Structure 1
Amino acid sequence: MATDNPMRESETPETAPRSGRALVIPRFGGPEVMEVRDLPLPVPQDDEVLVRVHAASVNPVDYKTREGQFPPVGEAQLPAVLGRDLAGTIETFGTRAHYMVRHGDPVFAFIDFDRGAQADYVIVKAIELCAIPDGLDMTTAAAIPLAAMTAWQGLFDHGGLQSGQRVLIHGGAGGVGQFAVQLARWKGAEVFATAGPDDQELLRDFGVDRAIDHTSERFEEIARDVDLVFDLIDGETRARSWGTLRQGGILVSTVSEPDQAEAARHGVRAAPRWLARPNAAQLGEIGDLVANGTVKVRVVQTFPLDQAAAAQQAQAEGHVSGKIVLTLV
């Protein structure tokens, strides 16, 4: 991003907007509680920037938050704006951000849960954003941050995956799973991944060493002595996964707290439940992998902001083999 910047926050044009739309939940409940409201523009402070959002990703955490099933967002945080990742352009910036950004710079970001990305404008901290690599459009860039960084942090930060190891990824065709299988291959791991029959070719296109049809094959008979199970499914799938791990191997889950006693009975480890966190350095590396073609991004549906309920329904009820994105510009 630019190191010189002729525009300062105090020089924001008089024609700059004073408000913008945001997808708000005033209370927990079904899709009917969501409202598109016109809210005053927040003012960036210190190293923060105000981003004009062009596209924002839809993730399972959105409907879980709306239903009151995401613990970091409780009654005390309502009303809340939904959304965790976005792509857009720099609108204004705080006093300590002028050295790194310029008005109009294209950026993408994974933001913390104290703010919402499904809005025309959102405050983003400098440590949360990266410049969008050349060649990536806004819709593609918006589909990357949360899902890709969940995959990265699960595989590498919590799972410690190394080149030459074996990994079993459950739900390899979903939003997080598609990034996980590709990042694991990039790392040099041997990759086993489960998915339905319609997604077997997709997994092979992503470079999976062995795609497993969970409707007709028993993954525990195919993936043996794996170093890491990356569990995106839970339930019976997790229960059957313990035996696939080598002694000392590790199970990492994004969905619920693994049973440590069960792990100990199998002589393996289980990572405690965790939440993906913003990390600009990781996001930048992932962006480069997408830009150079190492990692592919599959956007399967787009919706305008006022059709967010339909987007969430597609995410929650459908079999989504890729990412759903809200377009705002």
Structure 2
Amino acid sequence: MEVPTTHKAWTYAEYGPPGVLKLEQIPVPDVAADEVLVKVHAAALNPVDGKRRQGKFKNTDSPLPTVPGYDVAGVVVKVGKEVSKFKEGDEVYADVSEAALNKPRQFGSLAQYTAVQEKLLALKPTRLSFAEAASLPLAILTAQEAFDRVNLKVGQSVFINGGAGGVGTLAIQLAKQVYGASLVVTTGSAGKVDLLKSLGVDKVIDYKKEKYEELPDKYDVVFDTVGECNRCVKVVKEGGAVVALTGAVEPPGFRFVVTSNGENLAKLTPFLESGKVKALIDPKGSFTFSEVVEAFEYLETGRATGKVVIAPIE
């Protein structure tokens, strides 16, 4: 496939608010021996994108200028000489940075082309659109790794604090459909009860009306996506596990940073192809490639349900 020498990409050369982002014409990334070049059809935003752009991880960040974006879905247009699993024309998706905070990819997915290591890629489930596929990788891998680390077993109970967010909506579905949890309870507002129930939640606690930590129920696994570990540790069973994605951590809670892994992503393909696990894009729909600044501004209000997606990228 013919590949141009330059392409359009969103970049920032200094840390700051969404306004530091600029749409520029830059060279198409080189492809290393273990990488493929992907023509990007869709990308998605994650809270970590905003925190990184604000300079919260500057001590371990890759050099500026940066093309942000972790999540990508697109078509392979070039393969490195050591690549064996993928070929030109393959529809793929990935979280393009193996480590989200430690030297993440300098040239990410908010561009017309991006280079991705073969080991981070998976074939896009045919059932999913590019936008749906792009909404998944970082968030679904985070939920998957969290449950693997605590060894979530069939029949156990799970409490998810913040079920309507990008990670939460997928954690609910994985807990039920992939790991076989017998009970999934989450926090959410009254307006999101029907949505959360449709994802498989057994009970929704309205955080505006009740303090979940004062209720009598205890759970085998507690997954805090909000940053309330000090409250979440009060609802875990003795010997249970508390995973905290953000905020201060209190024992027995622990935090991890997701590791991108194409093989782990591929393990979820049967559940995505069958529709047992669904991508959830924010009701505002996809933002266009020219609306990336607005998309970040919206994401950073904290009001998004599911994922904020950029599509089409052209």
User: Which of 230, 234, 252 is the equivalent residue of 2:223?
Assistant: 230
Q: Go from structure 1 to structure 2 and tell me whether the alpha carbon gap of 1:100 and 1:241 turns closer, same or farther (over 3 Å shift).
A: closer
User: Which of 209, 213, 224 is the equivalent residue of 2:206?
Assistant: 213
Give the Å deviation of 1:58: 0.9
The TM-score with structure 2 as length reference comes to: 0.91
User: Which of 165, 175, 181 is the equivalent residue of 2:172?
Assistant: 181
Whether contact under 8 Å (2:127, 2:272) holds in the other structure is no
User: Which of 74, 82, 96 is the equivalent residue of 1:96?
Assistant: 82
Cα distance between partner residues in 1 of 2:137 and 2:19:
27
- Alignment coverage as a number of residue pairs: 302
User: Which of 35, 44, 53 is the equivalent residue of 1:48?
Assistant: 35
Tell me the equivalent position of 2:159: 168
Q: Go from structure 1 to structure 2 and tell me whether the alpha carbon gap of 1:95 and 1:192 turns closer, same or farther (over 3 Å shift).
A: same
Tell me the equivalent position of 2:127: 135
**Residue 191, structure 1, aligned to residue 184, structure 2:** yes
User: Which of 78, 85, 104 is the equivalent residue of 2:71?
Assistant: 85
Amino acid at match of 1:85: D
Determine which structure has more spread, i.e. the larger CA radius of gyration. 1
* Secondary structure of 2:69's aligned partner: coil
Cα distance between partner residues in 1 of 2:209 and 2:7:
49
Cα distance between partner residues in 2 of 1:38 and 1:223:
57
User: Which of 273, 278, 291 is the equivalent residue of 1:296?
Assistant: 278
* Secondary structure of 1:107's aligned partner: strand
Amino acid at match of 1:144: L
Cα distance between partner residues in 2 of 1:79 and 1:298:
31
Tell me the equivalent position of 1:275: 257
Q: Go from structure 1 to structure 2 and tell me whether the alpha carbon gap of 1:238 and 1:100 turns closer, same or farther (over 3 Å shift).
A: closer
Cα distance between partner residues in 2 of 1:72 and 1:185:
38
Amino acid at match of 2:90: D
Structure 2: runs of 5+ lacking an equivalent: 98-103
User: Which of 13, 21, 24 is the equivalent residue of 1:34?
Assistant: 21
Cα distance between partner residues in 2 of 1:318 and 1:173:
11
Cα distance between partner residues in 1 of 2:217 and 2:296:
36
**Residue 204, structure 1, aligned to residue 197, structure 2:** yes
Tell me the equivalent position of 1:316: 300
Cα distance between partner residues in 2 of 1:135 and 1:253:
32
Amino acid at match of 1:163: V
Give the Å deviation of 1:202: 0.9
Tell me the equivalent position of 1:247: 238
* Secondary structure of 1:61's aligned partner: helix
Deviations 1:237-266 (A, max 9, x none): 43222221111212111113413xxx2xxx
Cα distance between partner residues in 1 of 2:67 and 2:92:
20
Q: Percent identity?
A: 33
Q: Go from structure 1 to structure 2 and tell me whether the alpha carbon gap of 1:71 and 1:199 turns closer, same or farther (over 3 Å shift).
A: farther
Give the Å deviation of 1:30: 1.2
Whether contact under 8 Å (2:131, 2:309) holds in the other structure is yes
Give the Å deviation of 1:322: 1.1
Whether contact under 8 Å (2:152, 2:221) holds in the other structure is yes
After superposition, the CA RMSD in angstroms is 1.6
Whether contact under 8 Å (1:169, 1:194) holds in the other structure is yes
Whether contact under 8 Å (1:49, 1:124) holds in the other structure is yes
Tell me the equivalent position of 1:9: none
Cα distance between partner residues in 1 of 2:187 and 2:216:
10
Deviations 1:12-58 (A, max 9, x none): 64xx3111111111000112211111111122121210000000011
More helix by share: 1
Q: Go from structure 1 to structure 2 and tell me whether the alpha carbon gap of 1:223 and 1:181 turns closer, same or farther (over 3 Å shift).
A: farther
Whether contact under 8 Å (1:192, 1:223) holds in the other structure is no
Structure 1: runs of 5+ lacking an equivalent: 1-11, 264-268
Cα distance between partner residues in 1 of 2:58 and 2:241:
25
The TM-score with structure 1 as length reference comes to: 0.87
